[in-house]
Amino acid sequence: MHDDDLLIGSLIEESWLTLEQVAAACTVEPQWLLRHIEEGLFPHVESVAGTWRFSSSTLRRARRMREMERVFDAEPELAALVADLLEEIEDLRAHVHRAGHRQI
């Protein structure tokens, strides 16, 4: 198990991370996240009383997007699309697993 998995796995959905915490976990500047939020690439992020709140799934999405941008020099929109597809695959696998079928 990687340290990244441990951090994500230890968060519960009722816990929220701040912009600065997510930026540090993704090794990006907070401005990177703000630009992506403004572009609509983090659809489930919310601002409460002027403070951005991120869930563990949003942290996972941010890490994936940053990795796509870094490794493949992907445009932010493409990185978001890849993150969407990976999330969809995870959801489908979970659905198959819940249905009692062998995981693909």
51: β partners = 48
Residue 104 lies in a domain: no
**For the chain, what percentages of helix, strand and coil (3-state, to nearest 5) are there?**
60, 10, 30
Q: Report how many domains make up the chain.
A: 1
Residue 41 confidence (pLDDT): 97
Cα distance between residue 9 and residue 21, in whole Å: 16
Tens-level pLDDT at each residue, the chain (104 residues): 455 554 554 444 568 999 999 999 999 999 999 999 999 999 989 999 999 999 999 999 999 999 999 999 999 999 999 999 999 999 999 999 999 866 55
Cα distance between residue 84 and residue 74, in whole Å: 14
CATH code for the domain of 85: 1.10.1660.10
Residue 32 lies in a domain: yes
Count Cβ atoms below 10 Å from residue 52 Cβ, excluding itself.
20
User: 12: domain range?
Assistant: 3-98
Q: Which two tokens stand for residue 37?
A: 């939020």
